Amino acid sequence: MLIGRVLKTQITLITFLTFFIQLSLKAQIGFPYCESFDSNTTKSTTIFGADAQLVNGALRLTNNQVDQRGYVYIDIPFSSAYGIKTSFEYFSYGGDGADGIAFFLFDASIPNFAIGGFGGSLGYSKRNNEPGLAGAYLGVGFDEFGNFGNTAEGKSGGFPGAGESYVPDAIVIRGPGNGFSGYEFIKGRKTMASGPDGLASDQFFPISSGGIGTQRVTDLNEPGYRKANISLVPNPSGLGYLITLVMDYTVFQNIHRTITIFQDVPFPYEAPANLKLGFSASTGGFTNFHEIRNLTVEVANDEDLQNPVGSDIDGLESCAGADNQYYITKDNVELLNENASISCLQFFESFEEIESESGDICEQAKCDELNRFLVMPEGVFEATDEPGGFLFVPNQDFAGEEVTVYYTVTDNYGKRSQGNSLTIKIQESPPAMKLVKSEGEESVDEIFLCGGESVLLKGIPEIAYTNIEWRKDGEKIQGAEDFEYNAKQSGTYTILGFNERGCSIASNEIVITFPDSPDYGIENPIIGCEPGEGVDVTSYLEGYDPNTYDYLLVGNGNSYLNDEMKNIVDSGLYELTVKPKTVDCYSDPIQIEIIILEEELIADFKFSIRGLGITGDEDGGIFPEDPVQFENLSDNSSVNWQWDFGDGNTSEEENPIHVFGKKGVFDIVLTVENELGCTASVTKQLSITKSYRIMVPTGFTPLEEENKTFVPKFKGIVNMQLSIFNMWGEFIFQTDDLSSIGWDGTLKGNLLDAGVYVFRIDAEAKDGEKVTKTGKFRLIR
């Protein structure tokens, strides 16, 4: 049935506006669900985290960087009774191909969302010591690198015969799991290979739309476009669902294709009553941008759904000038779909205002906020967040009259009733009492008390009431039925007087506050990272307000009141208390430790080519492919290291090795942090100006086992000619073989005398630079 009850206060225009703003922020519940990700905001129920962010019209799950991970899930339960159908565009581009994107479903009753292992598990499956997605039901991986369809990293099952070997460019279905159990391989399809698990050769397409330097492709006629269409239809002859996955993709200009990857694949696992869905993506040592947009979630078996059937409602009563709360229940509206619930209640002034359902699936998903709030001359109707719940606030001038409006309900499948009438009679309410402080009948809004104190409150009646009721924080105080009440607890107090019709209007509110120990979320300890400089304790106090409260900090034999706390120069233990200025009692103390560094934290480092000790051009130069060893020389107290190599790459290792892969001048920044959270940074410049290196020995010993030939060592050289002359310029030896062992010291088979000889090198570096190098060396016998 439909129940009405009188609530607490006379509503005002400000209340209307506040409620309307709250309605505009309310998310929908259930099907259909559409999220385009094309603006700077999303629905409040679209939750994303880790590296995920909105970027230029799409949700970017990972940047084109190593070791990225991102996820998004829709915090709305979708009924599993009629299956789920979803479509989305995905974009994987700009890198060298790893790891991929996963679409997943999980049990909506799981209290806390917990993403799975990343890397090759794509945020769905377990991964070594990382548990899988909590309450996982289904995972579909769009796998670029090839680790979602094998048994690597502790996953369960994979493509037949794959073992831990990579299976790149594959779409893989994995089953239910929780923690370290389950997530079994169900079915996979290789998109760039033929055979029983592959595609026809004329259907090949890579999971990633493009390599390094490519951009997001949104035009279905352009190479690189990708869209997935997944449906889970209840299996008519067994448990679980039949899964179908259809891909829309473009490999060649203006040749858009649609092919079926999976057709009615049995998924024999019983589904929870409600599911939630999401996406995740990851990169490892290889990279890609991973993005999604234009997500649509629908019921798979939409043709089996029916519209709710409403009924005309009358015989209801309300109290003028007060909030009257009602609920439309299954006794008023017949919900014909399994697991159906009311997700949207809308009001209309006339039956003719009710529009027919839109053919646009995403429009069906919307609960028009304008229709959840209806202002009539007789009063205001407001839908609440509770299923089928609404408030009616009648105007006093219409006491004794009736008001009729029209309503529709939409269920969690997006199906809406045709519209019915709702009639409520408006009863007269008594005038509200005036609530005061009993002593002197003083009108106050707020009263501050110290511990153990109480205050006597009083309601001043306007008429003779049939019943008196006191409320604290909106809840009835049992046994309080007189015009006076001795309040001993903090809270918001009101008094109500009822007439013979059971109507009332709440009095004004009085707020009683005790100065409890404050919870400022204060950091403890408070750290001063600059030796000799004081710390400002007030900056750590959320809502610091010395005009309303007194703050007292005591420690090290000193006391600091309010703004005196802005410069505490001594380390030690302190106690903080607070009180409203209107009372004399302070709260219980909170202990705070203040630590000020005695010595400055210093960051420093050095670098050289690993194993060679070369630091720059002066000793041979650093090359793009050289592994550069960075050595931390910072203060021993540092425990965290953040390196920025100036080329878009970072590291958290203490002594990392990095290959820059290109010429340039790079500003290397090292930021260190000690165990107290203090940081220090230093910047040094590393120059890579050459793409080649030639090192020539100063001598060789043809008669010894070591250094038997004269041959230069080189790097980055694509061709080179080595010529040898004696000191009179006579030609002795020449080779242009890069793999030559060099000159063995002989001429026409005879070993030459010890002495000084001359070399000339004519070479070309891999970037096209011409190189000539001459010099002397010694033959030693």
CA atoms of 369 and 362, how far apart (whole Å): 15
Mean pLDDT of the chain: 91
Sheet holding 699-700, edge to edge: 699-700, 770-779, 755-765, 717-725, 731-735
* Residue 31 binned pLDDT confidence (cut-offs 50, 70, 90): confident
Q: Which residue's structure tokens are 């869905």?
A: 277
CA atoms of 602 and 679, how far apart (whole Å): 9
pLDDT at 638 over 60: yes
What's the burial of 440, exposed, middle or buried (CB within 10 Å: 0-12/13-18/19+)?
exposed
Element (H, E) at 16: helix 13-25
76: tokens are 């709305």
- pLDDT score recorded for residue 621: 83
CA atoms of 176 and 684, how far apart (whole Å): 51
> Each residue of 327-377: pLDDT tens digit?
999 899 999 999 899 989 999 999 999 877 666 667 665 678 889 999 999
Residue type, 12: T
* Greater pLDDT, 175 or 716: 175
Q: 98 forms bridges with which residues in the sheet?
A: none
- pLDDT score recorded for residue 185: 98
Report pTM.
0.57
Sheet holding 313-319, edge to edge: 313-319, 420-427, 402-411, 342-348
Query: Closest Cα to residue 72, out of 119, 104, 32?
Result: 104
- pLDDT score recorded for residue 517: 58
pLDDT at 204 over 60: yes
- pLDDT score recorded for residue 9: 32
pLDDT at 2 over 70: no
Query: Closest Cα to residue 60, out of 387, 220, 293?
Result: 293
SS3 call for 559: strand
> Each residue of 459-494: pLDDT tens digit?
999 999 999 999 999 999 999 999 999 999 999 999
> Each residue of 239-260: pLDDT tens digit?
999 999 999 999 999 999 999 9
Q: 577 forms bridges with which residues in the sheet?
A: 552
pLDDT at 303 over 60: yes
CB-based burial, 100-125: b 16+ in 10 Å, e otherwise: bbbbbbbbbeeeebebbbbbbbbbbb
- pLDDT score recorded for residue 20: 36
pLDDT at 524 over 90: no
DSSP label at 303? G
